[in-house]
Chains A and B, each alone.
Chain A
Amino acid sequence: MSTDAILSFEEAMEKYDPVLGFEVHVELNTKTKMFSSAPNVFGDEPNTNVNEVDLGMPGVLPVVNKTAVESSIKIGLALNCKIAESCRFARKNYFYPDTPKNFQTSQYDEPIAYDGYLDIELSDGTVFRVEIERAHMEEDAGKLTHMGGATGRIQGADYSLVDYNRSGVPLVEIVTKPIEGAGSRAPELAKAYVAAVREIVKNLGVSDAKMERGNVRCDANVSLRPHGRERFGIRSETKNVNSLRAVEHAVRYEIQRHAAVLDSGEPVIQETRHWHEDTRTTTSGRAKSDADDYRYFPEPDLVPVLASREWVEELRATLPEPPAARRKRLQADWGYSDLEFRDVVNAGVMDSIEETITAGASASVARKWWMGEIVGRAKTADVDPSELGVTPETIVELNKLVEGGKINNKMASQVLDGVLAGEGTPAEIVGKRGLAVVSDDGPLLEAIDAALAAQPDVAEKIRGGKLQAIGAIVGGVMKATRGQADAGRVKQLILERLGVEG
C-alpha cells in the first residue's frame, strides 16, 4: 500500500482554507425495524432478527414504524430544522450484498427535516454555527465480514459472510451544508460537531448513541481552496469514521493530504477514502463513478408521511432541555468559573455533581469531591467516575463528618476507601477503623508543646507576628498525632499557647 505525501498541518493552513461537510448516520433504538416488525437488537446470533421483509423476499410489503417517524421528527426539531408537512420514501438502487433487495429504502427529494442548524461550542468557548441541510429517514444495511486474504479487508478477500440482523434498522442521516470559515479549528470542530449530535440523540432517548457499536457513524467530507477563493475545491469523503477522536484525526489528515496533492500541481481526485485507525491515515476507496448513479425513484410500496402541525407540536412539547442549554443553566446555578465547569464536563462528572447537590451537598463541596478524590480513584481503576460506585448520599455524609469536626480530610479519604471496599456507611467505617479526630485538647496540647520546644526559632517568629510560620508547628503536631488531629483546632491552640491574636 503506497503512502500518500502530506504537508504539515501548519503549512497546509498557511496555504489553504478547508471546507468541511458531514453525513452522520444515527441508528434509532426502536424496538423494531424501520419497515418490518423484526426486533432491532444488537449482538444477537446472525440472521435471527430477520423476517421476510428484511430479507427482501418477493411480494412482501414494508410498513413504516410510527415510533421511528416520531424519533426522526424529534431529531429534526432538536437540530432546529423545519419538519416537512409531507414527505415520502425513495428507492436508492445499487447491487451489493449488504442489501438483499438491491435497493435501500431511503428519502431523496423529500426529507422529513430540513434547514436547521446546530451551535457548536469549541473548547475555548467560541461558538460556531453549523448549518444542517437535511435529516432523512432510511434503513441500515446488513453486516458483511470479509473472509480470507491477509488483512480482513475486502482487497484479497476470498468470500464474504452476510448477517442481515442490522438490515432494516431505522437510521436518520443528518447532512450538513458546507462548513466554511473553520480554518485551523476544522479538526476540533469536526469532533465537537459529531460529539454534539451524539449527545443530542442520546439526550432525546432516540438512540443508544454508542459509537463503538456503530449507533452513530460519520462520513467526513473535506476540501481545500486557496485563501480568498470562493469556489470550493474537490472533496474527498472519508467513510465510517467511528470514534470522536478518529473524526478529528481523519479531518486533520485529509487536510494535510489534500494540501500536498494541490502543492504538487495535481488535482484532488473526488473519491471515497477509508480511515485506518492503526496508522491514522486514509487510503483510496473507489473513485466516484457510475456506481453512484443510484437511480432514485419514489418508493411505490409506501405512502407519503404527513406531519400535521399538531403532531409536530405534541412531539416538540416532549423534548428534553437541550444539552447545551442545560450546561449553561447548571454552571450559572452552581457558580463555577468557565474553567472549573469545563473541567467538570470533560471529567464526565456533571450529572454526578448535579445528583450530589440534589442530595444536599453544596456546589463547591460536590465539585471538591468529584473532581478530587473520586476522579483520581476512577483514573486508577480505569473506569468512568460515575461507575466507581460512589453515591451522592455517601458524599453528603462524608462532608457532614468533616464539617462536624469528626474527621479531617485525610481521614475522609480513608473512609471513602472503606465505602468503596464495601465496609459500610461512612459513620460505620469511622467507628470500625478508629478514625475519629483527636478532639480532646489534652493530648493535643502535649504535642503542641513538644513541637514548639523542638522548633524554638519558629515559635519566636510566630510570637513576632509571622503567622505564616505556624505551618511548621502544625505539621509537627499532625505527625505526632498520626494525622488524627483537626488542623484548625491545632492552629487555634498554638496561637493561644503563644499568646498571639489569630
Chain B
Amino acid sequence: MKLTNRAANINRDPMTFGEKIYIPAIAKGLSITVGHIFKKKATVQYPEEKRPFSPVFRGLHVLNRDEEGRERCTACGLCALACPAEAITMEAAERKPGEEKMYREEKYAAKYEINMLRCIFCGLCEEACPKDAVYLSETVMPTNYTRASFIYKKDDLLIPHPHKQESK
C-alpha cells in the first residue's frame, strides 16, 4: 500500500562487476572530496571576524535614562508582570526632595534585579514598559563562574550617565 508519493525506489539488483571492484567508486569519491579543496570555507574566524547580528536581536538588558540623565524607571512592576520566566524583581521607593536630578518621576526603583539565568530574552519586558526604561541591547550575555554573578543589579543594568560620561 502506498501512503505517500515520496517513496524512493531502491535498486536492489546484485552489483555489477564495475561496482564490485570498487575502484571507480573510490575515484568518484576522491573527485568529490578533492573538489572541496577549492570550495569556500564555512568558518567564521571568530575573534577577528564577527557576524553581524540580526536587527531584531535581543541581548543583555539595559535600563535607560532620559536626555538629562535621570532614570526613567518608575518601578511600576509591569515588566516583572510581563516576564514569563519571572526573572525580574524590584523594590520601589519614593523620590525625596533634592533628588529630582536623579529620578524622573516621584517613584523610582530602589532595587532592580534581573536573573540572567532565568531570563529567556523574549523581550516582553521591553514591550510592557510604559516609560521606555528597559531595553534589550545587542550584547551577548557574558559567561561567569558563579550563580550570584548572573543576577544583574541595577548598577550593572543602568546605562552610563550622559553628562558624567562627557566630563570624564
Q: Do A and B bind each other?
A: no
